Chain A
Amino acid sequence: MSTETVPAGRPADRLRDGDQSVAPASSAAARKAGGFAGWIDDRTSGAKGVNYLLRKVFPDHWSFMLGEIAMYSLIICLITGALLTLWFVPSAGHTVYDGSFVPLRGQMMSEAYASTLNISFDVRGGLIIRQIHHWAALMFIVGLTVHMFRVFFTGAFRKPRELNWVLGTVMALLAIIEGFAGYSLPDDLLSGTGIRAMEGFVQTAPVIGSYLAYAIFGGPFPGQMIIPRLYSAHVLLIPAILVGLFIVHVTMVAVNKHTQYPGPGKTNDNVVGYRVMPVYAAKAGGFFFIVFGVIALISALFTINPIWAYGPYDPSPVTAGSQPDWYMGFADGALRLLPGWLEFEILGFTLSLNIALGALVLLPLVYTLLGVYPFFERWVTGDNREHHLLERPRNNPTRTGIGMAAIVAYSVFMFAAGNDIIAIKLGMSINDITRAFQIGLFVLPPLAFWVTKRICLSLQRHDRDLALHQRESGRIIRGAEGSFHERHDALSEYDRWILVQHDPVAPLELTAEVDENGVARPAARKDRLRAKLSHFYFKDAVNPVTPAELAAAHHDGHHAEALDAEALEAPFDYEGIEGDQDHAPGVGGDGADTEAGASEQGIGSASRLRE
């Protein structure tokens, strides 16, 4: 036997004798956890992504589940919709009904309507599937709307989430178009009336209107084309886009991290919450079943869209109480509010602004304003920082006011769409109701803005008050020397943090309008507008209590009373607080105030920097 060992394997391996053996990666070993999971991972490398997702931390709050209502309703719509396509016939072809619903037997109708009747009465469980589909569709748009409210009022749309806000806006618009397409499919009297109205809207487009209507309907109304076309839009095109955008939307949430409400331990750089596995997997999964259960229960107990009662579509009749589903109501209401004198005739061509403004302009306008808002606010505030902590609505009174004004304006439009139902149910004159809505459209939103803003400012002052005074116990204590004072219960640090954590704000001040050579700067006009808007947002801002104020308020109860009284009277802009601070050492006049003075100096200069 030779002393020289002959290495096994290829002869060429001898050339690499000097190599140091590399230990197998420990992570790779760790990955080989489960037999089946390992098998999958070897072929997909999915473990890393799954690990990332399952270990992702999300903050916990009920209002974060509003978007989930929309998400689950969408999923319910997809499931039930797939079932409905098995029986629905998207055709305007004529047929004579001979199904089991006696009051319509022997009637001429389209195959679309006949098949919807069959789903309702002859397919086992068909009616409940139809009703779940429709109720879930309503809840989808209700859910995404309140989700949008939450995101708006808490400022969750701020950097870096502006794009996701825009995505959400696009999805909201797509959702109502998808809803309208579905509402139009069964070809009952109500949905046919909706399509007829839509044709009218399209025709009001200047110049191209009638060509466009002919293109959409493949000829004169109603024709044979519209139902199949709406069908492919409703079951294929729009859902595909919606689901695609939805996946991007949710991925962006994971990438940007979820925002969280302010609180102890929660900063702009962390996310405090639970991991997906197991807590949110259980919570979110459970919530899906709750949403499905509630919608199924409603569908089992309450009729929606009783197409058999509406009867088959025929272009001549129309029924009282013809309304679209609620999410299209605002456009319908706009039509009811627009005065008739907006129709003009120019050189023999009719310009129907009385219809076009409500039907063609309003819808894109609403969604454009929505989509643009984050960029507008960023420009006004000049705030380029990332925000992962949500704002309490009261801490941005102007934005909250704008949001409430927008909701009120939208609601006026929406309620106007039900003016006839309001008239008969309340025994009022429809003319008076319409007039009241017309006036309300201009009066109520500013009023809502003002009231909301005042409420927010009051709440902020109350927060300041609470932070400074702590809780008034209502117990009067007589001192040894005969003086009386009310005992204030201590506020815990955690409770106090919520009241004082937000950033102080001040309006942007106008910078020099001319450059050093006395020449007007080209950007000066833009800056003036920006300063004006910034003033609009922040001129009466109530800023949080500073550490200095707190220290001054707490160091001596008796003196604190005097200080507080003055602080309350003082104007609540940042400058005003600074002025107070200057006064504070005079009241206290002992060692503690030096520190307070110093910290006040720091914050004061910071505020000047911000300006």
Chain B
Amino acid sequence: MKALAARRRHPAAIAILLMLGLLVTGFAYAAVAPQPAQAEASTAQDVAAGKQLFQANCASCHGVNAEGRATGNDDKVAGPALAGVGAAAVDFQMGTGRMPMRAPTVQAPRGEVQFTQEQIDQVGAYVASLAPGPAVPSEEDVDASQGDPAKGGELFRVNCAMCHNFAGSGGALTRGKYAPSLMDVEPKHIYEAMDTGPQSMPVFNDGNIAPEEKRDIIAFLKAVEETPNQGGHALGALGPVTEGWFAWFFGLGILIAAAVWLGQKSA
């Protein structure tokens, strides 16, 4: 301590103190400040690897530099420009198997995932490097156990049910497009879909639905998945159409069979 005290007037002391102060502040800020959404900061290698993957698998529709590509047929595009869609859009599209698209249909269906999560992250890093956009949400952002399913249910009915159906079973849109079923979708993909508005879906940014509210919606959807069917088999949770169908085919079928059986029983 004495040695330290003796050197307190050393010409380098101020510089060292300044350095220490900056370090402490820096670490403290790093600990408290909002985390960048990526779990691990993307490196230049990630971006480079992502660019390679992109050019090998995506460029045929989205253009070599993700600038988008027209088909030459009216104003139809083969793939839109990707600057600004963010890593979240990449993670959603590739992480649910929608991209690379298997065929040019009205809407990319959910499918088998073609890449490892690492590769998807690399492509995400490349696309995110083109222009700032929504990042992949953190674990905590999408943790269903921290959400309020009742509040989420209300938000879901107001914002989502008109396309995705009251139980998230999905619904039809125009000309063959559809809102897909939300059952068995990973929480982070639900979050990313709201954040980026894939395909026909509108964007629900943090101004429309705050991050905690997004988590509530995820909690609601997970609650729907986990709640047992109190009334018995749910018949697809599609509303009265399947109920009417069931009444005609099974209800009436069984009763007519019984009537025929009784009719044959003569006295």
Contact = CB atoms under 8 A, between A and B. Distances in A.
B243 interface: yes
B150 A106 contact: yes
Interface string A294-306: 1100111111111
A309 B167 contact: yes
B55 interface: no
B95 interface: no
A323 B247 contact: no
Interface stretch (B6-14, B75-83, B185-193, B219-227): B219-227
Best-buried of B154, B174, B237, B251 by chain A (most CB within 10 Å):
B251
A325 interface: yes
A121 B252 contact: no
Interface in A55-89: 60-63, 65-66, 68-69
Interface residues of B, number: 62
A308 B166 CA distance: 10
Interface in B86-121: 106
B232 to A, nearest CB: 5
Interface stretch (A217-225, A227-235, A426-434, A445-453): A426-434
Contact of B240 (A68, A308, A326): A326
Contact of A62 (B171, B234, B248, B259): B259
Given A62-B262, A311-B157, A274 B267 contact: yes
Given A138-B251, A326-B240, A317 B162 contact: yes
B97 to A, nearest CB: 17
A423 interface: yes
B229 to A, nearest CB: 6
Interface string B227-244: 101111111011111111
Given A142-B251, A311-B153, A430-B175, A421 B241 contact: yes
Interface in A270-297: 274, 279, 283, 286-287, 290-291, 294-295
B179 interface: yes
A320 B157 contact: no
B242 to A, nearest CB: 8
Given A60-B263, A309-B224, A424 B171 contact: yes
B172 A423 contact: yes
A123 B220 CA distance: 25
A294 B170 contact: no
A427 B254 CA distance: 31
Interface in A429-482: 429-432
Contact of A103 (B223, B240, B250): B223
A418 interface: yes
A393 to B, nearest CB: 17
B176 A427 contact: yes
Contacts of A514: none
A138 B243 contact: yes
A107 interface: yes
A567 B58 CA distance: 75
Nearest to A323: B240
A319 B238 CA distance: 10
B169 interface: yes
Nearest to B159: A317
A306 B239 CA distance: 8
A310 interface: yes
A327 to B, nearest CB: 8
Contacts of A429: 106, 174-176
A103 B171 contact: no
Contacts of B106: 429
Contact of A325 (B167, B178, B240): B240
B241 A103 contact: no
Contacts of A310: 166
Contact of B255 (A190, A294, A302, A314): A294
A568 interface: no
B237 A306 contact: yes
Contacts of B158: 314, 316-317
B165 A321 contact: yes
A320 B164 contact: yes
A361 interface: no
Contacts of B223: 102-103
A301 B245 CA distance: 16
Contact of B251 (A61, A295, A322): A295
Interface in A83-107: 102-107
Given A69-B259, A279-B267, A320-B179, A302 B165 contact: no
Interface in B125-171: 149-150, 153-154, 157-158, 161-167, 169-171
A235 B2 CA distance: 95
A432 B180 CA distance: 19
A418 B241 contact: yes
A145 to B, nearest CB: 9
B151 to A, nearest CB: 8
A115 interface: no
Interface in A388-431: 417-421, 423-424, 427-431
A189 interface: yes
Contacts of B267: 274, 279
A321 B238 contact: yes
Contact of B247 (A142, A287, A300, A421): A142
Contact of A302 (B167, B171, B174, B235): B235
Nearest to A290: B258
A234 B220 CA distance: 34
A146 interface: yes
A190 B263 CA distance: 40
Best-buried of A300, A304, A309, A428 by chain B (most CB within 10 Å):
A309
Interface of B: 106, 149-150, 153-154, 157-158, 161-167, 169-176, 178-179, 220, 223-224, 227, 229-235, 237-248, 250-252, 254-256, 258-260, 262-267
Given A104-B153, A326-B243, 19 more contacts: A62-B256, A69-B252, A102-B149, A103-B227, A107-B153, A131-B232, A146-B256, A287-B262, A299-B232, A300-B232, A304-B231, A306-B230, A309-B224, A318-B162, A320-B166, A325-B244, A326-B245, A421-B238, A424-B170
20 contacts: A62-B256, A103-B150, A127-B230, A138-B251, A143-B252, A190-B166, A303-B232, A304-B231, A321-B238, A325-B240, A326-B247, A326-B248, A329-B241, A329-B244, A417-B241, A419-B172, A420-B171, A423-B172, A430-B175, A431-B174
